[in-house]
């Protein structure tokens, strides 16, 4: 007799023997692919490119202030060069 207690029994819905997928070896996966290297600039080159870009932008703005806007003709080219130095040639 359980003296008023409710007793539960639990059963698994799935048996323990669930099949586990086995991954294919790496050599078989890579048979249909060709390695294409991605070239990225070295950290030092990217750093100095960013420094040069900041100097170009600063110099362009300083030139415009000093000349009273007279040097505005080369601003687009200077900003484009600075952009390419910062984000890749």
DSSP track, 62-82: HHHHHHTSTTGGGHHHHHHHH
The number of distinct structural domains making up the chain is 1
The answer to whether 67 touches 59, Cβ cutoff 8 Å, is: no
Please report the pLDDT score of residue 83 as a whole number: 92
Residue identified by tokens 């080369």 is 74
Query: Has residue 60 been placed in a domain?
Result: yes
Separation of CA 66 from chain center? 40
Q: Which domain holds residue 61?
A: 40-87
pLDDT per residue as tens digits for the range 29-65: 556 667 777 676 677 888 888 999 999 999 999 999 9
Query: Has residue 71 been placed in a domain?
Result: yes
Query: Has residue 25 been placed in a domain?
Result: no
Query: Has residue 45 been placed in a domain?
Result: yes
| Euclidean distance between CA atoms 89 and 87, whole angstroms | 7
Mean pLDDT of the chain: 79
């Amino acid at each position: 007799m359980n003296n008023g207690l409710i007793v539960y029994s639990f059963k698994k819905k799935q048996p323990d023997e669930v099949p586990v997928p086995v991954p294919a070896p790496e050599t078989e996966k890579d048979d249909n692919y060709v390695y294409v290297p991605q070239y990225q600039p070295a950290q030092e080159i990217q750093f100095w490119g960013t420094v040069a870009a900041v100097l170009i932008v600063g110099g362009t703005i300083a030139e415009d202030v000093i000349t009273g806007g007279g040097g505005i003709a080369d601003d687009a080219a200077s900003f484009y060069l600075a952009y390419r130095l910062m984000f890749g040639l």
